[in-house]
Structure 1
Amino acid sequence: MRILITGGAGFIGSHLAERLFLCGHDIIIVDNFNDFYSPAVKRRNFTETAGNAAACGRRLLLCEGDIRDEEFIRAIFTQELPDAVIHLAAAAGVRPSIDNPLLYEEVNVRGTMNLLEAAKAIGVRLFLFASSSSVYGNNPKVPFAEADPVDNPISPYAATKKAGELICHTYHHLYDINIACLRFFTVYGPRQRPDLAISKFVRLIEQGKPIPFYGDGSTSRDYTYIGDIVAGIEKALQWVNTGEKRYDIFNLGGSSPVALNRLVKIIEHQLGKKAVLECLPMQAGDVERTFANIEKSSSVLGYKPVTPIEEGIANFVRWYQDSEQPLP
């Protein structure tokens, strides 16, 4: 298949492209290399991805531009005729969305609609949408299941991701596009965005600088290793690629939450260094915990995360220390 990946030069997208090359697919990457974090990081990701494409003998095309640009998106679909779309691109981050909510609406809602309109126009029937565990908000029930109410988001980012799921269902209903919405739970691993906790903590501890430590350390996240996420996306692509009309929502998580206190200790152990904590109050928009119920994903998709947090962080630390160009 010819698969279009938005945000394909990012952390998840670059790993996914490499996995799909091995499965025999050609890839079209759409990315605008914005400055939410250093564009050099994403360009390094793309360079590595291009090398892996060449090694696999697969075609890789980079289309540099913004998913908010309707004409740009329409032209790519018309010229390249993708068979499937995996939509990862987004304005990311809970806290920044509170400061700039209109940007998040433009990218995450209008950008998603531009892609669905283009898919409708040329008859693309396979579409995966990257949603987020943030849609669950401070749900008191754990673990979070796909059938739980998600009507009380606590950040604009979460609200736009829920909106994306609803828009996807509308296009599925009206135009018979097979869609899976994938709620990712705190993805980490080699190439992780430098603004995210594990990447930031490793970098600052290595440099002997204080790490921001919000709250009392009891908040927890369901950290999910990049290899497990990519395997889940691949399973979801197989699920939508049938003759049946399909739409559904799936959790992709590790289903094993880790408290902030424990996370820091694991990183300290892997680095052989003690962290200096900059104790700060909880921030607006932060949830107390995330915890994925993956029974549905396991039974329907065959999704099965296999990487424990200790192994995943060891892999990240090894990648970070071996990198010729340390993260900014």
Structure 2
Amino acid sequence: MKALITGSAGFIGSHLASALFERGHTIVLVDIVNGHDARDLFRDDETRYDAVFHCAAVAPHRSAIDNSPATVGAGCLELDAAMFAWAARTKPGRVVYFSSSAAYPIALQSQGLAVRLGEGHIRLDAPERPDAIYGEVKLMGERLAQAYRAQGGSVTVVRPFSGYGQDQSPDFPFAAFAQRARRREDPFTIWGDGTQVRDWIHVDDVVGAVLAAVEQDVDGPVNLGTGVGTSMTDLAKLFAAEAGYGPAFDYRTDAPAGVAHRVCVPYLMESFYVPEVSIEEGVRRALA
């Protein structure tokens, strides 16, 4: 297989690249941090790829989403629109579009509801308000994917929940917590009140599920998650216990914290891939 990965120097993109390389595929890597802007490729390149993994995005972490919404939203929308226009022209074998759990209605993610989010909770013909402009952009990306499919294109839409791993940027909470635990910080800082619940899925399982979906021609949309919720405070406690100390927790309620509860129904994913790495094992790997 000849595959293109955009955003190949990013967290998900770099892990996908490693997995595809290990499987013997030919891969073309494009990332702006390495001097290769995906928008230039989409404008000029006429190569037909067997698979395209579109991971390129602009700062998709909580701080940027809340504090620089125009930059994040406009940048991601530009990349997604250019990619689908290019795909319609060059007709790759299959496109993988990385949507996001941010596309789900925020009304279902409020304090006290504890709704597990299934793929059917998003109706592209009548979408409810998602999480910030970033969620709006991901909804538009899914609608572009729908239009591309209607024109005969093959596209897999995935909705990752809280992906994590030991080499993730500290702009994301899991990696930030790992750094604090390594330094044995006391007090241990947590953004928000600590009750925010997330569905943590290890990057190895994100990659494993994506490749299984491509191999089995799964169109999706499909949630990538475990169906298990862990609060920010409980995650901090796991890190502290693994690091062997008992800090106090400093809750920064003025910092960006996101929605109260975001956990998926993973049944569709589990029909072709079952996650292997628990959050406890992920914490152990991060501090090993």
Q: Same fold (TM over 0.5)?
A: yes
The match for 1:185 is 161
Change (3 A) 1:178 1:229: same
Alignment of 1:118-133 (within 5 A): 118-133=86-101
The match for 1:306 is 276
The match for 2:178 is 202
- SS of match in other structure, 2:216: helix
Maintained 8 Å contact 1:206/1:273: no
Alignment of 1:1-328 (within 5 A): 1-33=1-33, 64-67=35-38, 69=39, 71-75=40-44, 77-78=45-46, 80-91=47-58, 92-136=60-104, 137-139=106-108, 140=113, 142-149=115-122, 150-174=127-151, 176-209=152-185, 210-240=187-217, 247-281=219-253, 283=255, 286-299=258-271, 302-318=272-288
Shift of 1:13: 1.2
The match for 1:47 is none
C-alpha distance in 2, partners of 1:191/1:172?
A: 34
C-alpha distance in 1, partners of 2:184/2:269?
A: 41
Q: Any stretches of 5+ residues in structure 1 without a counterpart?
A: 34-62, 241-245, 319-328
Shift of 1:27: 0.9
Q: Is 132-141 or 256-265 further displaced after alignment?
A: 132-141
C-alpha distance in 2, partners of 1:289/1:10?
A: 26
Q: Percent identity?
A: 27
C-alpha distance in 2, partners of 1:159/1:285?
A: 18
Change (3 A) 1:276 1:28: farther
Q: Is 221-230 or 118-127 further displaced after alignment?
A: 118-127
Moved >6 Å (runs of 4+): none
Maintained 8 Å contact 1:225/1:254: no
C-alpha distance in 2, partners of 1:196/1:105?
A: 18
C-alpha distance in 1, partners of 2:243/2:118?
A: 35
Shift of 1:317: 1.4
Q: Is 288-297 or 97-106 further displaced after alignment?
A: 97-106
Q: Is 277-286 or 157-166 further displaced after alignment?
A: 277-286
Change (3 A) 1:129 1:257: same
Change (3 A) 1:202 1:285: closer
Give, as a single letter, the amino acid of the residue that structure 2 aligns with 1:267: F
C-alpha distance in 2, partners of 1:14/1:162?
A: 25
C-alpha distance in 1, partners of 2:255/2:150?
A: 38
- SS of match in other structure, 2:194: coil
C-alpha distance in 1, partners of 2:162/2:146?
A: 24
Q: Is 6-15 or 277-286 further displaced after alignment?
A: 277-286
Deviations along 1:186-211, one digit per CA (max 9) or x if unpaired, are 11112112211121112123234454
RMSD, matched Cα: 2.0
C-alpha distance in 2, partners of 1:276/1:13?
A: 36
TM-score (normalised: structure 2): 0.88
Maintained 8 Å contact 1:138/1:288: no
TM-score (normalised: structure 1): 0.78
C-alpha distance in 1, partners of 2:224/2:89?
A: 30
Give, as a single letter, the amino acid of the residue that structure 2 aligns with 1:248: G
Maintained 8 Å contact 2:7/2:13: yes
Shift of 1:64: 3.1
Shift of 1:95: 3.4
C-alpha distance in 2, partners of 1:97/1:198?
A: 17
Q: Is 204-213 or 163-172 further displaced after alignment?
A: 204-213
C-alpha distance in 2, partners of 1:268/1:141?
A: 26
Shift of 1:104: 2.3
Q: Any stretches of 5+ residues in structure 2 without a counterpart?
A: none
